[in-house]
C-alpha cells in the first residue's frame, strides 16, 4: 500500500510539472514582445525589414501579409517580365497601344496616384519608361564593368532624344478599369512610386489585421505603424551618402508617419570617376545631380516616395517651395561644393544639410 502511494505521488508530481510547463509555454507564446525580421526575397530589388510588438502567432500572421503584399506588387509593377493571370506594367507597355488593357484596382490606384503627383510637379513623370530603359541597360552594364575596375559608358544624347519623343502623360488614357497608350513606343515606369505605394498598402492591411505598433523599412522607405509600445518617439536615421552609417537622426513624434529618402548612392554606376544615379531628370534626360539626397516626411508613403523623387530633380529653392506647398517636411543633403548659397541648418566635414522649418528641431547629427 505504501509502495502504491509513493508511485501515485511521483506520478502526480510528474503530471503537475507537465501541466506547469504547458501553461508556461502557452503564456510565453501569448505574451507580446518586440519582434523583427528581414525579408530578402520579396522583390523590388531590396530587403524589407519588418518590426512589430505582438505575440509569436500574430507576428507570423503579420509577416505573411508583408511578404505576400510585396511579392504581389512586385509582379504588378514589373516592367521587364510578364506573369500569368495578371496584367502588369509589362503587359501595358507591350499591348496597351493595340487594345485596352484591364488592370486590377491596386494597379490602377497606383497609376492614378502617380498622375496626381505629376500634376503637382512635372519632374515626376511615369511616361518616361523608354528613356528609363536606356539608362537601366547602361547602368546594369556599367555596374558590371565597375565591379571589374572599369569605367561604365553613357548613352548618346541622340539616343535619349529619340526615346523622349515617345513620352508624355497625355499618352496615357484611362477609361474605368482599363488603360491604353496612344503611342506604341511609350512605356510606363513606376519605379519612383511603386515601393512607397506598396509600403503604404501593406501598412493599411496590417492595421486591418490588428497591428498598431511597428514599422516597415523597404530600402529607405520607412512606414511607422502607430507609436512605439512604450509611448516614446521613433528615431529614424538618414544615411550618409558616402557610407552605410547614419548621418542624421530624426525624432518622429507623430503616429502613422512615412519617411522616404531618394539619393544618388542607391543603384548608381560610375563613368570616368563620375557617379550617375538611377533618378533621371525628365527635362535633361540625364541623372539628376542637384543634391546627394532628399528625405520627405508625410503621412502617406505613396506621396512621400513620389515627392522625394521629384524633389531630387529640383533645385533647392524650387524644392523648398514645393515642400511648403504640399505641406510635407523635407531634408536635403548637399556636398559642400554644390550647396546653395545660404546658411545651412547643419554642417559636417563634407556636407551641408537643409531642412524645412517644422522638422528642424527634430533633426540632429548622428554621433
Question: What's the pLDDT tens digit per position in 58-90?
Answer: 999 999 999 999 999 999 999 999 999 999 999
Q: Specify the pLDDT at position 15.
A: 54
Residues 6+ apart with CB under 8 A from 101: 87, 91, 92, 95, 178, 179, 180
Average pLDDT, the chain: 92
Burial code of 90-101, b = ≥16 C-beta within 10 A, e = fewer?
A: bbbbebbbeeeb
Closest to 217 (Cα-Cα) out of 38, 21, 73, 32: 38
What's the rounded mean pLDDT across residues 130-136? 97
**pLDDT tens-digit readout, 326-337:** 999 999 999 999
How far apart are alpha carbons 279 and 68 in whole angstroms?
A: 27
What percentage of the chain's residues is helix, strand, coil (to nearest 5)?
40, 25, 35
Q: Specify the pLDDT at position 4.
A: 56
Model confidence at 32, pLDDT cuts 50, 70, 90, reads confident
Q: Where are the beta strands (DSSP E) in the chain?
A: 33-39, 48-54, 101-102, 172-175, 178-181, 214-218, 221-225, 234-239, 246-252, 258-263, 269-271, 274-276, 293-298, 329-335, 346-347, 351-355, 363-365
Count the neighbouring beta carbons within 10 Å of the beta carbon of residue 21.
10
Q: Specify the pLDDT at position 226.
A: 87
What's the rounded mean pLDDT across residues 298-318? 97
How far apart are alpha carbons 260 and 238 in whole angstroms?
A: 9
Residue pair 254/358 in contact by the 8 Å Cβ criterion = no
Residues 6+ apart with CB under 8 A from 347: 336, 353
**pLDDT tens-digit readout, 115-129:** 999 999 999 999 999
Model confidence at 51, pLDDT cuts 50, 70, 90, reads very high
Instruction: List beta partners, residue 293.
Output: 263, 333
Write out the H or E segment, with its range, that includes residue 66: helix 56-76
Compute the radius of gyration of the chain from its Cα atoms: 25
pTM of the model: 0.90
What's the rounded mean pLDDT across residues 245-252? 95
**pLDDT tens-digit readout, 263-280:** 999 889 999 999 999 999
Q: Specify the pLDDT at position 55.
A: 96
Q: Specify the pLDDT at position 367.
A: 73
Burial degree of 333 (CB within 10 A; 0-12, 13-18, 19+): buried
According to the per-residue pLDDT averaged within each range, which of 32-41, 151-160, 231-240 is highest? 151-160
With a cut of 70, say whether residue 9 has pLDDT above it.
no
**pLDDT tens-digit readout, 137-192:** 999 999 999 999 999 999 999 999 999 999 999 999 999 999 999 999 999 999 99
With a cut of 60, say whether residue 224 has pLDDT above it.
yes
Distance of CA 143 to the CA centre of its chain: 22
How far apart are alpha carbons 55 and 329 in whole angstroms?
A: 34
Q: Specify the pLDDT at position 26.
A: 44
Closest to 119 (Cα-Cα) out of 297, 322, 258: 322
Distances (CA, A) of 104 to 110, 260, 315: 10, 26, 37
Amino acid at each position: 500500500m505504501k509502495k502504491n502511494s509513493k508511485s501515485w505521488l511521483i506520478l502526480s508530481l510528474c503530471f503537475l510539472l507537465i501541466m506547469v510547463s504547458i501553461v508556461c509555454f502557452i503564456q510565453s507564446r501569448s505574451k507580446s514582445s518586440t519582434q523583427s525580421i528581414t525579408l530578402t526575397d520579396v522583390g523590388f530589388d531590396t530587403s524589407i525589414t519588418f518590426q512589430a510588438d505582438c505575440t509569436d502567432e500574430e507576428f507570423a500572421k503579420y509577416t505573411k501579409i508583408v511578404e505576400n503584399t510585396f511579392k504581389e506588387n512586385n509582379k504588378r509593377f514589373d516592367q521587364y517580365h510578364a506573369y500569368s493571370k495578371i496584367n502588369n506594367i509589362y503587359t501595358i507597355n507591350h499591348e496597351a497601344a493595340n487594345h485596352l488593357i484591364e488592370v486590377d484596382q491596386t494597379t490602377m490606384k497606383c497609376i492614378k496616384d502617380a498622375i496626381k503627383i505629376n500634376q503637382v510637379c512635372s519632374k515626376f513623370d511615369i511616361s518616361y519608361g523608354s528613356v528609363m530603359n536606356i539608362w537601366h541597360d547602361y547602368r546594369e552594364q556599367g555596374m558590371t564593368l565597375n565591379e571589374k575596375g572599369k569605367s561604365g559608358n553613357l548613352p548618346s544624347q541622340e539616343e535619349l532624344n529619340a526615346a523622349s519623343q515617345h513620352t508624355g502623360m497625355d499618352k496615357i488614357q484611362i477609361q474605368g478599369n482599363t488603360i491604353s497608350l496612344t503611342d506604341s513606343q511609350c512605356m510606363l515606369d513606376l519605379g519612383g512610386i511603386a515601393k512607397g505605394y506598396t509600403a503604404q498598402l501593406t501598412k493599411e492591411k496590417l492595421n486591418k489585421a490588428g497591428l498598431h505598433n511597428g514599422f516597415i523599412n523597404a530600402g529607405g522607405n520607412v512606414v511607422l505603424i502607430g507609436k512605439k509600445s512604450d509611448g516614446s518617439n521613433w528615431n529614424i536615421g538618414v544615411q550618409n551618402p558616402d557610407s552605410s552609417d547614419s548621418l542624421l537622426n530624426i525624432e518622429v513624434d507623430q503616429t502613422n508617419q512615412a519617411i522616404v529618402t531618394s539619393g544618388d548612392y542607391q543603384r548608381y554606376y560610375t563613368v570616368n570617376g563620375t557617379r550617375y544615379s538611377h533618378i533621371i531628370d525628365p527635362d535633361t534626360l540625364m541623372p539628376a545631380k542637384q543634391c546627394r539626397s532628399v528625405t520627405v516626411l508625410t503621412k502617406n508613403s505613396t506621396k512621400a516616395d513620389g515627392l522625394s523623387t521629384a524633389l531630387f530633380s529640383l533645385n533647392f529653392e524650387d524644392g523648398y517651395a514645393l515642400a511648403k506647398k504640399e505641406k510635407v517636411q523635407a531634408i536635403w543633403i548637399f556636398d559642400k561644393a554644390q550647396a546653395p548659397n545660404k546658411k545651412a541648418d547643419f554642417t559636417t566635414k563634407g556636407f551641408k544639410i537643409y531642412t524645412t522649418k517644422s522638422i528642424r528641431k527634430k533633426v540632429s547629427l548622428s554621433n
